[in-house]
Amino acid sequence: MNLIEELKNYCDINNPVGALMLSGEWGCGKTYLIKTKFIPSVKDTYVFVCISLFGIDSLDKLRVEVKKKWLEKASEFDSLNGTKVSRVADSCRRIFDTIKDRLPENWQKKGEVVSSIMDLINFMPISNRMFEKKVILVFDDLERTNISCTDLLGCINDYCENKGFNTIIVANEEKIKDRSDNELSYREIKEKIVQRVIPFVPDYEEVVSNSIELMSCGIEYKGLLRKNEKLLVKILSGDFNDNAIIEQYKAKNYKLGSNKEREEYQKEEEELRKLLAQRPHNIRSFKCAIQDFERVYNKLVKEDIQDCSNWLLSFTCLMMTNKAGLLQKITRYGHLFWYLNVEKLYPELFDDNFIVDGFSKWVIQGEWNEDVISKEIQLFLKKEKAATPLEILRTYNLPEVDEEIIDEGFKDLLIEVYAGNLSLDEYILFLYNCCYSRMYDFDLPTIDWEKVREGIRKQIKYLVESDEKDSHSHRMIGDDSKQHFTEDEWSAYQIIKEFRDNNVWIYEKNQKLYIDLISSDLNVAFRELSNKRYNKFSLEMEAATINAFKNADNMDKNHFSGWFVGIWGQYSNSPEIEGHGTTVSLKKLRDDLNSVMQEYKEKGKNIAAGHTQNFIKKLEAIIKTESEDTTVEQ
């Protein structure tokens, strides 16, 4: 069917018996077709008055809107023929003068009630001809109005049947709902008012091609879009064999069982059919997807991803599903089942391996976290390189792994788990996979959970003592998922959670840094250590401090006490610093300084002794403050 020709044929009809409806899904390009293709093709023959019904909630407002748009269209003739538009203006002025003469004298002076030509809209007659051209009314967004279908279509029929306007209605007929049981149904009244319904199906190849070519983007990115143009058309058009999808689902899931089980299977099949029938074809959503993906593309290229095609296709599928409100969010088992509906709607094109959580959160929640996304992409690259069963089990979710690989590699994985050789994120993945094994009824070898917990502690100790970093962005298990994990699994996770929540890693790292710098380079220590976070002044830190002070020259000794008090002077008021242990270490430092001061005095090093005595006094003030605070609390 040639839609343009169908629309032209309708407009050629004199005294139409009903309106013409162009019906199609939301966002499929109906309005675009009318305004950019059809109207320009016949603009010299007809005058088009286009009215959006979106949000209009009364017939009075609708009639005013029609007249207003009619007058606006008439004013456009100003550039073509000033005399004709003057005729319209003169008509408005005559009506204005007639009404004005009947107003009270004080209203005439103040200009109240009627203040401009636009106020005369209600009094201005309109006709189905405008300067010898036929006027075509176009009502858009029929399903988005707040007027009842009976009243709305009755009003449109008045323009069409009684006033002789050729009338085109643009709507998504599937979304039109009957407002009341007491009214005629939409189906009943449509038969009396709508002459013919034309289903609109866009040329998806043309839409995708135009969207790509008209898009303002980088040359390399446009090349990626062109490379995947056919598959992008398949996503937008929904050109999938739904019957085959349903048959594959039945073959995979249907099993012999009780009548109740068969009923449940039938219910699931109906839900799948319903989902497939809702597969979106929204052009605006598609344009959003390929526009937003450019940011993802730039990030992937920066992280050294060579081929971004699968990422593009999966991202577009996710965006289309989410925009249509069809995304299935099941947080109880993490993110794995977020994409069930996307996989059903776009088989073979959507692959959740090419959708990291950071991209999903951006699509769904609008949150772009650069650090999280970078880490997840690096994890993807690591998964890509995984070759042996052990490497695969360290990086993949269990449902993504073949049974043979699990059988072959899980015992080797346990050796690494017990030895503390997994990263903390890998330990959390291990816990998730233990959970997944129960979901999929897959038996794993016996696990010694005390050894698992000890392995986690070994990894934490390694992180504290080495230069390795536990990234700020990392895997986690929400408290609302606790019910799905065994007591052993949950207790193992709590060791990791407490380590991260309590900033243990940061404190331990900073203590180690304090000891290293104060023992090697005081100038760097003075500069770098003041703004670090500590949870205590330990005995190890005390030993490093007294040795550093003893080895310092008098210039550094002179600054040493002020710098030290700058870090620890308010420790008793800091909730994150462990007070008792810090007090013990400070008292030891004071006592050690007293011994050092006596040595300096015996050797006649009075300047050094003076710096030491000054340090002791400042320590006394700190310790005294803490003691007084303790007394008050008691």
Of 157, 169, 168, the C-alpha closest to 134 is 168
Answer whether residue 107 shows pLDDT above 50: no
pLDDT recorded at residue 47: 92
pLDDT band at 626 (very low <50, low <70, confident <90, very high): very low
Mean pLDDT of 304-311: 93
pLDDT recorded at residue 623: 85
Contact 163, 24 (CB under 8 A): no
Contact 362, 368 (CB under 8 A): yes
Query: 26-30, 115-119, 353-357, 615-619: lowest mean pLDDT where?
Result: 115-119
Note the pLDDT tens digit of each residue in 64-75.
899 988 888 887
Q: How many CB atoms lie within 10 A of CB 39?
A: 17
Contact 153, 125 (CB under 8 A): no
pLDDT band at 94 (very low <50, low <70, confident <90, very high): low
Which residues, at least 6 apart from 24, have a Cβ–Cβ distance to it below 8 Å? 30, 172, 199, 200, 201, 202
| Alpha helices per DSSP H over 56-104 | 59-75, 82-101
Mean pLDDT of 585-590: 94
**Burial of 269 per CB tally in 10 Å (0-12, 13-18, 19+):** middle
**Burial of 186 per CB tally in 10 Å (0-12, 13-18, 19+):** buried
Average pLDDT, the chain: 84
pLDDT recorded at residue 149: 80
Mean pLDDT of 503-514: 81
Which residues, at least 6 apart from 40, have a Cβ–Cβ distance to it below 8 Å? none
pLDDT recorded at residue 119: 53
Question: From the DSSP assignment, how many helices (H) and strands (E) are in the chain?
Answer: 29, 7
Answer whether residue 582 shows pLDDT above 70: yes
pLDDT recorded at residue 182: 44
Mean pLDDT of 561-570: 89
Q: Taken in order 261, 264, 270, 271, is the CA torsion positive or negative?
A: negative
